[in-house]
Structure 1
Amino acid sequence: MEITQKIENWASTHYPAWFDFVRMGLGVFLFVKGFIVLSQIESVQIFISNINALNGTSLNWNAQVLIQFIAYMHIIGGLFIALGFLTRIAIFFQIPILLGAVLFTMPGIRMASDNNMAQGGINFVWSEIQLNTTTAEWWTALFTLILLISCFIIGSGPWSVDKYLEHYEET
């Protein structure tokens, strides 16, 4: 508890005012990204089926549930981050999603078709690395992950619902 209180005190005394706009923009971006994922669910299913084809499995209902979970987590979490409501909790649920996005869209890495460690699962063994190709999705996911970690450390800031509720007094 002592470490989190020290981080909270440091963040409240050293908080840059412009970072609220970064937090709000990040929340709006994640909110919109959730709707984009929902609108392009077929292409995401094709991506997951390509991963499953490398593993020798077929696309099942778990992939659709995962896609919808990610989309709704982006929508709800993005709204909470933009408003500054339960910001650290919302970011806590976004970080694993973005870590997965960074790992699966890494440029120049092709997954191996033989993985004895995770049969039927997602393949984390890469067969070939070619770093001369980069993708915009990877850079977007990496930049978003860095911003999420920064917002998690710094907090919601003075222009947030969290700060309003902290100073709100019932009359």
Structure 2
Amino acid sequence: MATSIKQLNKWANAHTSYPLDLLRIALGVFLFIKGVTFITNKHYLSEILSSVRGYGGEMMIIHYVAMAHMIGGFMIVLGFFTRWSIWFQLPIVLCAVLINFFGEFNLANFIQASIALLLCVFFSFYGSGKHSLDYNFKMEH
């Protein structure tokens, strides 16, 4: 059974609700705050970097992860190019889950990353919903 993005959008728009929109907005705010935290809190950044040293992870985290979280989180809040923003978040959030097994296991970080991963997977299929910029731009055409 081939499912297209258009069919997924139709289903999502027919089954949309404000709680799902609030969940999408909360995910975006969470990711944005994580991006800001990576840039502003050097201790937090060095704690995470300790488990990826030697893999070229320092520059990747500083440049890709922080900017992807901040820009992508903001776009997810607005519901603008939501699926694209989520696709840029998925490798980061998946690594955030896995990094707990390579370094020191931190239950709080593991739970946060796992919930973020589940929400990213959900919204990659569901889309931004009816109360978003994506929906408004689509309805103008």
Q: TM-score interval w.r.t. the shorter chain?
A: 0.7 to 0.9
Q: Report which of the two structures shows the higher radius of gyration computed on alpha carbons.
A: 1
| Match for residue 114 of structure 2 among 142, 146, 150 | 142
Report % sequence identity: 32
CA 50–33 in structure 1, closer or farther in 2 if over 3 Å, else same: closer
Give the match for residue 72 of structure 1: 67
Greater percentage in helix: 2
Tell me, yes or no, if structure 1 residue 11 matches structure 2 residue 5: no
Give the match for residue 121 of structure 1: none
State the distance in 2 between where 1:47 and 1:157 align.
34
Q: Which amino acid aligns with 2:12?
A: A
Tell me, yes or no, if structure 1 residue 162 matches structure 2 residue 134: yes
| Match for residue 83 of structure 2 among 83, 88, 113 | 88
Shift in Å, 1:36? 0.4
Q: Which moved more, 1:158-167 or 1:72-81?
A: 158-167
State the distance in 1 between where 2:109 and 2:129 align.
28
Per-residue Cα deviation, 1:35-71 (whole angstroms, up to 9, x for no partner): 001112344335434444xxxx5x8xx4332112101
CA 104–85 in structure 1, closer or farther in 2 if over 3 Å, else same: same
Unpaired stretches in structure 1, ≥5 consecutive residues: 112-132
Q: Which amino acid aligns with 1:168?
A: E
Contact 2:49–2:57 at 8 Å: present in 1 too? Answer: yes
Describe how 1:1-171 pairs up with structure 2 within 5 A: 2-4=2-4, 5-52=6-53, 57=54, 62-68=56-62, 69-106=64-101, 135-168=107-140
Q: Which amino acid aligns with 1:90?
A: S
What do you get for the CA RMSD once the two structures are aligned? 2.3
Q: Which amino acid aligns with 1:105?
A: N
Per-residue Cα deviation, 1:63-92 (whole angstroms, up to 9, x for no partner): 332112101100000000000000000000
What is the TM-score with the length of structure 1 in the denominator? 0.71
Q: Helix, strand or coil: the match of 2:129?
A: coil
Shift in Å, 1:6? 2.8
Unpaired stretches in structure 2, ≥5 consecutive residues: none
